[in-house]
Chains A and B, each alone.
Chain A
Amino acid sequence: MNNEIRIKNGIVFDPTNGIEGKVGDIFIKDGKIVSKVSESAQVIDAKGMAVMPGGVDIHCHITGPKVNLARKLMPEDHRLDPHFKTPNTQSGSGGIVPSTFATGYRYATLGYTTAMEAAVPPLTARHALEEMYDTPIIDNGFYVLLANNLFLQSLIAEGRNEEFKEAVAWWLNATKAYTVKLVNPGGDEPWKGHKNLNVKDIDDKSKVVDLSPRKVIESFIDAVHELGLPHPPHIHCNNLGHSGNYDTTIETMKTAGDRRLHVAHIQFNSYAGELGKSPKSASKEITDYVNDHENITCDVGQVMFGKAMFMTADAPLTYLLRGYKKEKWVNADTECESGCGILPFDYQGMVYTHALQWAIGLEIFLLSKDPWRIVLSTDHPNGGSFQNYPMVMKLLMDYEFRKEAMKHLNQKAMNSTILGELKREYTLNEICIITRAGPAKCLGLKDKGHLGVGADADITIYDMLDDKEEMFNAPRYVMKAGQLLIANHEFISDYTDKKVLRVAPEYDRDIEKVIKPFFDDFYSVQFANYPIDDEYLHGTGVVIETKKKKSIHENK
């Protein structure tokens, strides 16, 4: 069978390789981009259409135990948004937390072909991998929650740095993760063990071990740097969601020094004002710091109005938010490792705080100077569904549309921001960077996010439309690893040969002897049954090389 494709005369956007909207051809063979194909290659006429690499979502919550709890929690939401079966694809349920099949197909219909699950407890990582196998089309990887791991904390507290590093490497291997995720470091123990308390500050010592969140963060940045993971620690900072938290965020970034750090959904950590009172925007303070420090990357976590679902390892925050409406709420503690809170939510344009959050996210996008280090995300489903991405793109690309939108929102909030004064409009090339080239680079994925020879042939072709939301909502063609899946907006085939991206840093096997006694005492599963074997990758695992880098721009 001929597996060659030639995309002819498209307007190519490939920022990684310096191509910005130039008409040209792209050649595909055996799932990769090549320099030429034979005469018999299938031809796709892309005249007048934008050709881009497939989208890369650096931060979303789409597979794993907490996602599935949230799915189970929302029958009323699924019912409103059925996902129909087609001759080529399976049925599913949509809504704010879609079923796995629907998740894969819906990402594809936005032109996204890679999505990273941002928070999985090690103990239940098998579950995340199992769901990934049932999430069609898109490549996945996940970040493993380690910051509140009691054993690792004890190594930090005792200053056993070398063993700590080895143990982190062991955990990454045992769970098949992509990088380390830090969520509200130090916050689990006061929550679970001290009647629902929380840490208040990055230098607040946890009640159990004599350890500040800052020390935990620093240790992980050190270890991950030493291990040379392609993506640095991915952090959900302390005090997320609280007024006045921008200070904590800047302190967190400072802790990194000149080593790399990815700050997740930074919008939720860019609030000025007094704790317990209404927030104000601190987008300026935050973007100033990010702009000046090449070692920092972040994704925005844009809030979009309508349904959302809090789904986070930051359990105390979720419980605090539950207090407003006393909505149905899930808390799920994972022994020795993590907490989790789930709460359905609704962002409303007329509510001061929600409107302000929306504005702060956009301000961060518009004030940041290096599009390569700021990634589009809604922290799906925490700030809203990933299905809002095309709308976010339109907001960024269209000043008039933004102004119009602001008229319908809480005016007190709008008046307290500088959003109306920011006239910047993102270009198509910049959109291509913040949704594809940039996140791929932040993740250290050399074969994704670009269209150079050797790249994975994950390609999206959009009709050039004036309404950018419409444009990005319905690509005319979507291709995954060289297989044409969507043609003329319809699924023409299913694709299940998706990949799981992970790292496998080397470690000293003797570390298992240090870890095992803790397991025997405090875990409820056997140490031998804890590491996940390769079968769970179904032959789809791709190991991404580990190598130290100080900024994503290094070796440019």
Chain B
Amino acid sequence: MSVASKNDKIVNEKIVENATCTFCGCCCDDITLTVDMDKKVITKAKDACVLGKSWFLNHVIEDKPIARIAGKEVPLDDAIDEAANILMEAKFPILYGMSDTICEAQRHCAPIMDDCGGTIDTTTSVCHGPSGMAFQGVGEPTMTLGEVKNRADFVMYWGGNPAEAHPRHFARYAVTPEGMYTPNGKDDRTVVIVDIRHTKTAGVADIFLQLTPGKDFELLWMLRAACKGFEIPEDCKEICGVDKEVVEDLFQKMKNCTYGVIFFGMGLTMTRGRHFNSGALMALATDLNEFTHFVAKPARGHGNVTGADNVVSWQTGYPFGVNFSRGHPRFNPGEFTTVDTLSRKEADAALIIASDPVANFPKPAIDHITSDKCKLISIDTKNTPTSEAAHVSIQTSTYGINTGGTVYRMDDVPISLRPAFDSPFPSDLEVLTKLRKKVNELSKKANRPYSTKKYM
């Protein structure tokens, strides 16, 4: 259902050029928005994809309270005080989410947890967290997306479905654009898709490899071995579902291209092998540099999950799953990551920012976060199962639509947002600035040594 019917005449119209869509990690910054300033709706989002259009056009200012405690409307400052007190008094407070807000707001998150000796984690841990771990192990040759547009003559997607998750990835960056050394667009590129499903993405492939599910590592390792001069095994088909000849041909194409790139998705990180899969892929891209220039890049999901990674890394040294209970950052996936702290019923307070674990997390984690053992605080722009289950719930305005700020595209390129219209709701930045100040005051007052956190 459309928010504004097409025939309505807009009296007070505003055009926003070069606006950025923050729905997915592509962060396309070439959208032209037409805004009805009276009704406070976006009526057109030129050049946006199906996801982008639905992101912009469905945004309405809803009539709902800014802040609620236990379901009852309260002034914002009361909700912030309550949240700060909960976090300071908790034995194992956690902060999770952050991928759908601006870096300026994300910057307040680690200091809040630093002050209350808690744990900070981003949606990375259930997305490309394993790729982050693999990166720590093997590094990664990588690039900005413009390099792919200008140079890549070999483009591969592995375990991802950009046609549905990043709809403009093909046209804007990787498959069809005409670049400096790829003047004929797709004709200058070999496009390879590796997946277990024949998705919409597979449709663009010059070569589609339908892999036996769970056998990504095996195929990656065969290609790595090929880089070192080993033959593709005879029983290749039995191992991974792809014919030996197809893999041999693929390897030759990888080796002989001028600029090769592999984008990879959660088909690698969420299946058996997790970080070993991502690591094998990054190592393969590294190996191929013996022959030619080769790069790889995880196709990140949410609008600013890459920003969250960057901010948490520059503030703490680690990208996600960071605990401050000993007075300094410690990183340990599996221990300080949110699915684990919740499933093990350790967290007794949870500040969830711009994400929705109650809808997406494993059942044991949801059971705990919605139980009375864990005080839930939600800061979000929309009503979600998480905001509805929260003890303290704060509604904020939406980044890229109501507020400006910085987001990082999936290739670590920072982009400034151009908001369309303002919102009666406070921004994440405003709320988190206040919360950080409050928590800092309480922490100075409490002046407790960090070792008193019971968990330790």
**Which residue of A is nearest B309, CB measured?**
A72
Seed contacts A85-B324, A332-B141, A333-B295; 8 additional CB < 8 Å A-B pairs: A72-B309, A79-B330, A84-B327, A93-B328, A99-B314, A127-B310, A191-B293, A526-B29
Given A68-B313, A524-B145, A529-B20, check contact A90 B318 (CB 8 Å): no
Main secondary structure of the interface of A (DSSP, over half): mixed
Give Cα A422–Cα B147 distance, bound, in whole angstroms.
50
- Give the Cβ gap from B146 to chain A, nearest Cβ, in Å: 3
A-B contacts, 15 listed (Cβ < 8 Å): A68-B310, A72-B319, A75-B317, A75-B331, A82-B330, A85-B324, A93-B329, A99-B315, A192-B147, A195-B292, A196-B292, A327-B139, A331-B140, A331-B295, A342-B139
- Give the Cβ gap from B172 to chain A, nearest Cβ, in Å: 7
Query: Quick check: is A528 within 8 A (CB to CB) of the other chain?
Result: yes
Assess whether A99 is in contact with B135, with CB atoms less than 8 Å apart: no
Given A331-B289, A522-B146, check contact A193 B181 (CB 8 Å): yes
Main secondary structure of the interface of B (DSSP, over half): mixed
Assess whether A92 is in contact with B140, with CB atoms less than 8 Å apart: no
Point out the residues of chain A lying under 8 angstroms from B425, CB to CB: none
Query: Quick check: is B184 within 8 A (CB to CB) of the other chain?
Result: no
Query: Quick check: is B221 within 8 A (CB to CB) of the other chain?
Result: no
Given A71-B313, A79-B330, A331-B141, check contact A193 B151 (CB 8 Å): yes
Give Cα A195–Cα B259 distance, bound, in whole angstroms.
8
Point out the residues of chain B lying under 8 angstroms from A522, CB to CB: 146, 149-150, 179-180
Assess whether B29 is in contact with A124, with CB atoms less than 8 Å apart: no
Give Cα A98–Cα B292 distance, bound, in whole angstroms.
33
Query: Quick check: is A130 within 8 A (CB to CB) of the other chain?
Result: yes
Which of chain B's residues 112-147 have a Cβ closer than 8 Å to chain A? Answer: 114, 132, 135-147
Assess whether B139 is in contact with A93, with CB atoms less than 8 Å apart: no
Assess whether A525 is in contact with B310, with CB atoms less than 8 Å apart: no
Query: Quick check: is A54 within 8 A (CB to CB) of the other chain?
Result: no
In this complex, the interface size class of chain A, counting residues with CB under 8 Å from chain B, is 35 or more
A-B contact count (CB 8 A): 190
Give Cα A196–Cα B142 distance, bound, in whole angstroms.
14
**Which residue of B is nearest A341, CB measured?**
B141
Query: Quick check: is B18 within 8 A (CB to CB) of the other chain?
Result: yes
- The interface bits of chain B over 5-20 (1 if a CB of A lies within 8 angstroms of the residue's CB, else 0) are 0000000000001101
**Which residue of B is nearest A319, CB measured?**
B289
Which of chain A's residues 297-349 have a Cβ closer than 8 Å to chain B? Answer: 319, 327-336, 342
Assess whether B147 is in contact with A196, with CB atoms less than 8 Å apart: no
Point out the residues of chain A lying under 8 angstroms from B149, CB to CB: 335, 522, 524
Assess whether A524 is in contact with B146, with CB atoms less than 8 Å apart: yes
Contact partner of A134 among B181, B314, B324, B331, CB < 8 A? Answer: B314
Query: Quick check: is A87 within 8 A (CB to CB) of the other chain?
Result: yes
Assess whether A71 is in contact with B141, with CB atoms less than 8 Å apart: no
Give Cα A71–Cα B135 distance, bound, in whole angstroms.
11
Point out the residues of chain A lying under 8 angstroms from B142, CB to CB: 330-333
Assess whether A332 is in contact with B143, with CB atoms less than 8 Å apart: yes
Which of chain A's residues 50-84 have a Cβ closer than 8 Å to chain B? Answer: 63, 65, 67-69, 71-76, 78-79, 82-84
Query: Quick check: is B250 within 8 A (CB to CB) of the other chain?
Result: no
Give Cα A74–Cα B286 distance, bound, in whole angstroms.
18
Assess whether A525 is in contact with B413, with CB atoms less than 8 Å apart: yes
Query: Quick check: is A457 within 8 A (CB to CB) of the other chain?
Result: no
Give Cα A91–Cα B327 distance, bound, in whole angstroms.
7
Assess whether B295 is in contact with A78, with CB atoms less than 8 Å apart: no
Contact partner of B314 among A68, A95, A150, A334, CB < 8 A? Answer: A68
Assess whether A528 is in contact with B414, with CB atoms less than 8 Å apart: no
Query: Quick check: is B427 within 8 A (CB to CB) of the other chain?
Result: no
Given A72-B136, A330-B140, A331-B295, check contact A85 B450 (CB 8 Å): yes
Query: Quick check: is B444 within 8 A (CB to CB) of the other chain?
Result: yes
Query: Quick check: is A178 within 8 A (CB to CB) of the other chain?
Result: no
Query: Quick check: is B412 within 8 A (CB to CB) of the other chain?
Result: yes
Query: Quick check: is A507 within 8 A (CB to CB) of the other chain?
Result: no
- Give the Cβ gap from A273 to chain B, nearest Cβ, in Å: 27
Assess whether B315 is in contact with A85, with CB atoms less than 8 Å apart: no
Query: Quick check: is A158 within 8 A (CB to CB) of the other chain?
Result: no
Which of chain A's residues 487-516 have a Cβ closer than 8 Å to chain B? Answer: none
Point out the residues of chain A lying under 8 angstroms from B415, CB to CB: 525, 529
Contact partner of A90 among B114, B145, B180, B292, CB < 8 A? Answer: B114
Contact partner of B313 among A72, A192, A533, CB < 8 A? Answer: A72
Which residue of A65, A82, A130 has the most chain B CB atoms within 10 A of its CB atom? A130
- Give the Cβ gap from A550 to chain B, nearest Cβ, in Å: 38
Query: Quick check: is B2 within 8 A (CB to CB) of the other chain?
Result: no
Give Cα A93–Cα B322 distance, bound, in whole angstroms.
11
Give Cα A143–Cα B415 distance, bound, in whole angstroms.
20
Point out the residues of chain B lying under 8 angstroms from A91, CB to CB: 114, 316, 324, 327-329
Given A522-B150, A524-B145, check contact A100 B315 (CB 8 Å): yes
Assess whether B137 is in contact with A328, with CB atoms less than 8 Å apart: yes
Contact partner of B413 among A82, A193, A524, CB < 8 A? Answer: A524
- Give the Cβ gap from B67 to chain A, nearest Cβ, in Å: 27
Point out the residues of chain B lying under 8 angstroms from A399, CB to CB: none
Give Cα A191–Cα B292 distance, bound, in whole angstroms.
9
Query: Quick check: is A126 within 8 A (CB to CB) of the other chain?
Result: yes
Assess whether A78 is in contact with B258, with CB atoms less than 8 Å apart: no
Query: Quick check: is B164 within 8 A (CB to CB) of the other chain?
Result: no
Point out the residues of chain B lying under 8 angstroms from A75, CB to CB: 136, 317-318, 331
Point out the residues of chain A lying under 8 angstroms from B416, CB to CB: 126, 529, 532-533
Query: Quick check: is A131 within 8 A (CB to CB) of the other chain?
Result: yes
Which of chain B's residues 290-330 have a Cβ closer than 8 Å to chain A? Answer: 291-293, 295, 309-310, 313-319, 324, 326-330
Assess whether A78 is in contact with B317, with CB atoms less than 8 Å apart: yes
- Give the Cβ gap from B102 to chain A, nearest Cβ, in Å: 11
